[in-house]
């Protein structure tokens, strides 16, 4: 008998309330995001490039922006004391408009620090147009955790968008 495990990726709001987009440099400055997650991943086998989260980013800050993702379990799917590692964590563009002059992520490696955080700095730092409805995904791989794995495995990702490079 196979048992399927699921994941919940949750998000905490650390940015300003969602507003409509505006031209570069308009006030008020907008640095916002919205997030969603995939709560139905099958852990009965290995996973390859599985999308676990989506983030919709908008910014009209002429100084640019950066986005910090913090993984509460430091890149591990976890339930109680049981856990297994995410591997090959990457950031990719899905759709939308990134400010002109900024570099889009394409299988950009996410390397978590000791606190489980990683910051994306779209380079160069100063765009010439606004970022509007820019959708990015976090995708991961994992090795086959084990047969008979059961439970509701979770990883909580907190996201914040801030001004500047």
The structural domains of the chain, with segments of one domain joined by +, span: 6-16+26-163
Rounded mean pLDDT, 12-36: 60
Rounded mean pLDDT, 136-156: 84
Higher pLDDT, 34 or 119: 119
42-51, 73-82, 113-122, 153-162: range with highest mean pLDDT:
113-122
Q: Are 51 and 138 in contact (CB under 8 A)?
A: yes
Q: Please check the confidence at residue 13 and state whether its pLDDT lies above 60.
A: no
Across the chain, what does the average pLDDT equal? 82
Range 6-16+26-163 classified under CATH 1.10.287: no
Rounded mean pLDDT, 123-139: 91
* pLDDT per position as a tens digit, 47-94: 999 999 999 999 999 999 999 999 999 999 988 888 889 999 999 999
Q: Please check the confidence at residue 19 and state whether its pLDDT lies above 80.
A: no
Which pLDDT band holds residue 126 (cuts at 50, 70, 90)?
A: confident
Question: Between the CA of residue 149 and those of 78, 112, 118, 136, what are the distances in Å?
Answer: 12, 26, 29, 30
User: For position 8, what pLDDT does the model report?
Assistant: 45
Question: What's the token pair of residue 25?
Answer: 């440099």
User: For position 151, what pLDDT does the model report?
Assistant: 76
- Round to whole Å and give the CA distance between 112 and 66: 16
């Amino acid at each position: 008998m196979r048992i399927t495990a699921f994941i919940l990726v949750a998000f905490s709001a650390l940015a300003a309330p969602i507003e409509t987009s505006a031209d570069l440099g308009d006030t008020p400055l907008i640095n916002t995001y919205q997030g969603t997650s995939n709560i139905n991943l099958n852990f009965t086998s290995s996973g390859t490039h599985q999308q676990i989260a989506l983030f919709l980013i908008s910014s009209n800050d002429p100084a640019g922006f950066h986005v910090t993702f913090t993984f509460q379990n430091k890149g591990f799917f976890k339930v109680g004391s049981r856990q297994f590692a995410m591997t090959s964590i990457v950031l990719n563009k899905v759709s939308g408009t990134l400010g002109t002059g900024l570099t889009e992520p394409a299988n950009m490696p996410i390397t978590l620090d000791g606190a489980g955080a990683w910051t994306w700095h779209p380079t160069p730092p100063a765009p010439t147009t606004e970022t509007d409805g820019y959708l990015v995904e976090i995708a991961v791989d994992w090795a086959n955790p084990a047969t008979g794995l059961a439970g509701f495995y979770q990883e909580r990702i907190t996201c914040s968008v801030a001004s500047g490079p």
